[in-house]
């Protein structure tokens, strides 16, 4: 075996182990975010049933059943919301898996967070017929939301920052 061939095999092995590590990271973070979201939502709603109330200048806990998407849009079209969520989840998952080689760990983290939020809201829609929202902001007029919505929004913000910083670096 030539020196060049051995070096090529080492590089291929490093790339394969990197992809494997990224796939493991994707799975672990996705499963963690899904279970944390579901567990904390159930725990909080159980406590609210037992009388837990939180009202302060920043936020309050107020339970509502949301049959629509964000901001209650498509409220009368539950199957459309389910279909759109399923399509979004599949697109993000396929994109992430197909691009593991080039995605940073930060991007994989954001992707996992995004998919967990979409999945948890989709899960509630499929099995409950609605999404359980319970966080109300008191300092601004804003729809009531849940942990899944927070995950989706934080993930999108991270992705925007990553894209912006990547484009910014290209222009320097």
Element (H, E) at 90: helix 78-98
Is 149 designated active site?
yes
Q: At what angle do helices 105-128 and 78-98 cross, to 10 degrees?
A: 150
Q: For residue 145, give the DSSP letter.
A: B
Options 133, 134, 135, 144, the catalytic residue: 133
User: Which residue's entry shows tokens 């979201």?
Assistant: 37
Q: Which residues contact 115 (CB under 8 A, 6 or more apart)?
A: 30, 33, 89, 92, 93, 96
Give the C-alpha separation, 50 to 91, whole Å. 39
Options 144, 149, 151, 155, the catalytic residue: 149
Kindly calculate the radius of gyration of the chain based on its CA atoms and give it in whole angstroms.
20
Nearest to 121 by CA among 12, 33, 29: 33
Is 46 designated active site?
no
Catalytic residues: 133, 149
């Amino acid at each position: 075996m030539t020196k060049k061939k051995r070096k090529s095999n080492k590089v291929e092995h490093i790339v394969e182990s990197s992809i494997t590590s990224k796939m493991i990271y994707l799975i672990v973070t996705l499963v963690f975010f899904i279970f944390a979201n579901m567990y904390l939502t159930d725990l909080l709603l159980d406590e609210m049933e037992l009388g837990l109330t939180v009202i302060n200048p920043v936020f309050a806990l107020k339970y509502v059943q949301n049959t629509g998407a964000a901001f209650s849009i498509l409220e009368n079209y539950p199957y459309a919301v389910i279909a759109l969520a399923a399509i979004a989840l599949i697109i993000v998952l396929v994109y992430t898996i197909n691009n593991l080689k080039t995605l940073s760990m930060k991007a994989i983290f954001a992707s996992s967070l995004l998919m967990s939020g979409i999945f948890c809201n989709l899960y509630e829609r499929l099995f409950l017929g609605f999404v359980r929202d319970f966080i109300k902001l008191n300092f601004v007029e804003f729809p009531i939301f849940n942990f899944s919505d927070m995950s989706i929004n934080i993930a999108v913000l991270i992705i925007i920052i990553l894209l912006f910083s990547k484009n910014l670096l290209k222009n320097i």
